[in-house]
């Protein structure tokens, strides 16, 4: 199966402002998201996950290596929906993603309703943003990406501000979307520091200090990867 996204021997540096030396944050990263997979990138805080996402989004230059995104469109959802939601109602926020596509109003309506249905917000289209819970706002941010019919979702710690019920609700929603995609082409890169989320992964990678130190090719290998992550945390004194 071909890759939706692939990094090969990727090096990325950060810093270097006001006379300081820039340092390599991503070191020889090899990572592959197969089409139709929910690939999870697991790593501690500071391991380089966000740097990898920012590089994919084109916000950071590549020092060496290759990065290819083979499917389009590709949409990002970030950890804090308050930073991405800009319009006053649920409907206008989702419809905003289509403003430049010159679509008939009936088509816009159909697409917005579909995106809201996909995240279980179809009954809230007229609601104002201020009335939504944190979980509903994160679902809305996801709908804002889905309305553009993406082939690749980049999901950067999107459960960080959610309680357990909403955390697993969003996980199930993303998993169902990928498994239910009729062409089997929707893929996602899900970045997390919460190892319990990996039970939903089709495949996964473990990042430590900017390097990929472990890979689970399928769900049967995820348990070993999580144990490796726990070992990394223990060795680095991060277990309270
Ligand atoms: N703007 C920056 N300039 C210099 N170094 C940076 C910058 N942003 C991050 N770093 C460094 O890069 C490394 C990786 O950080 P990054 O934010 O990518 O990790 P992360 O795994 O996403 O962590 P978190 O889960 O806390 O967001 C860290 O050592 C961090 O200090």
196-215 confidence digits (pLDDT tens)? 999 999 999 999 999 999 99
Distance 33 CA to ligand 1 centre (A): 22
Which DSSP helix (H) or strand (E) runs through 220?
none
pLDDT band at residue 2 using 50, 70 and 90 as cut-offs: confident
- Which residues constitute the domain of residue 205? 1-72+152-179+186-240
pLDDT given at position 238 = 62
Look at residue 240 and tell me whether its pLDDT is greater than 60: no
pLDDT given at position 236 = 83
| 30 and 66 together in one domain | yes
What is the residue with the minimal CA distance to atom 4 of ligand 1? 15
pLDDT given at position 43 = 97
pLDDT band at residue 239 using 50, 70 and 90 as cut-offs: low
Dihedral angle over CA of 102, 56, 193, 30, nearest 10: 140
Cite the DSSP H helix spans in 119-163: 134-146
| 191 and 113 together in one domain | no
User: For the chain, what is the mean pLDDT?
Assistant: 94
| 166 and 234 together in one domain | yes
How many separate domains does the chain show? 2
pLDDT given at position 184 = 87
For 104-143, the pLDDT digits (tens) are 999 999 999 999 999 999 999 999 999 999 999 999 999 9
Mutation pick for ligand 1 pocket among 51, 194, 229, 232 (CB with most ligand atoms within 8 Å): 51
| 1 and 54 together in one domain | yes
pTM for the model: 0.94
What is the residue with the minimal CA distance to atom 26 of ligand 1? 45
Distance 51 CA to ligand 1 centre (A): 6
| 30 and 98 together in one domain | no
CATH assignment of the domain containing 236: 3.40.50.300
Q: Which atom of ligand 1 is nearest to the CA of 22?
A: 4
| 101 and 216 together in one domain | no
pLDDT given at position 156 = 95
Q: Which atom of ligand 1 is nearest to the CA of 43?
A: 21
| 92 and 143 together in one domain | yes
Tokens of 134: 């944190």
User: What is the C-alpha separation between 163 and 146, in angstroms, rounded?
Assistant: 23
Q: Which atom of ligand 1 is nearest to the CA of 54?
A: 18
Residues 6+ apart with CB under 8 A from 119: 139, 140, 142, 143, 146, 173
């Amino acid at each position: 199966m071909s890759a939706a996204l692939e990094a090969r021997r990727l090096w990325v540096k950060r810093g270097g402002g006001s006379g300081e030396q820039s340092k390599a944050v991503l070191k020889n990263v090899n990572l592959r998201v197969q089409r139709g997979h929910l690939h999870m990138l697991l790593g501690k805080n500071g391991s380089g996950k966000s740097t990898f996402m920012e590089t994919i989004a084109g916000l950071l230059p590549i020092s060496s290596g290759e990065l290819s995104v083979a499917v389009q469109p590709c949409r990002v959802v970030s950890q804090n929906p308050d930073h991405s939601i800009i319009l006053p109602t649920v409907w206008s926020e989702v419809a905003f993603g289509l403003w430049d596509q010159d679509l008939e109003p009936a088509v816009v309506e159909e697409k917005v309703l579909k995106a809201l249905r996909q995240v279980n917000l179809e009954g809230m289209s007229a609601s104002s943003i201020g009335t939504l819970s944190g979980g509903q706002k994160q679902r809305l941010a996801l709908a804002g990406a889905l309305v553009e019919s993406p082939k690749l979702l980049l999901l950067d710690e999107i459960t960080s501000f959610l309680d357990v019920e909403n955390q697993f609700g969003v996980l199930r929603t993303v998993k169902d979307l990928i498994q239910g995609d009729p062409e089997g082409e929707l893929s996602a890169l899900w970045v997390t520091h919460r190892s319990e989320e990996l039970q939903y992964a089709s495949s996964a990678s473990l990042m430590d200090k900017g390097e990929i130190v472990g890979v689970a090719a399928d769900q049967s290998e995820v348990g070993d990867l999580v144990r490796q992550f726990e070992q990394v945390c223990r060795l680095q004194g991060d277990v309270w």
